[in-house]
Structure 1
Amino acid sequence: MLDFTWKVFTETGNIDTYLLFKELEKDRTELPETDEELAHRDVPIS
């Protein structure tokens, strides 16, 4: 999705498309990347 959004932005120069790209990029960096990080999210806090 990032690649598509970036391609649309570079071809159109549409600022809304760029802002969407940046939002998707931000969301992507906030996701846990390792199985260990995912496992810790499932552990209830006692």
Structure 2
Amino acid sequence: MRDFSWKYFMMTGDVDAYLLYKEVAARGEQTVAGTEPDEQEEAAE
């Protein structure tokens, strides 16, 4: 999703695509840092 939103932003200059890219990147950092909500634990069960 991150690659798609970045490529779409680069082709169109659409600000919403850039904001989506930043949001996905921020959520990815949270997941790596282990600060993701308990939803992952529930899915693992």
Which interval holds the TM-score relative to the shorter structure?
0.5 to 0.7
Aligned length: 36
Q: Which protein is richer in helix relative to its size?
A: 2
Tell me the TM-score normalised to structure 2 length.
Answer: 0.67
Deviation per CA, 1:2-46, whole angstroms, max 9, x where unpaired?
A: 11110000000000110010000000000036xxx6xxx76xxxx
RMSD over aligned CA atoms reads 2.1
Long gaps (5+) in structure 1 = none
Runs of 4+ in 1 over 2 A off after TM superposition: none
| 1:19 paired residue number | 19
Structure having the higher Rg: 1
SS at match of 1:26: helix
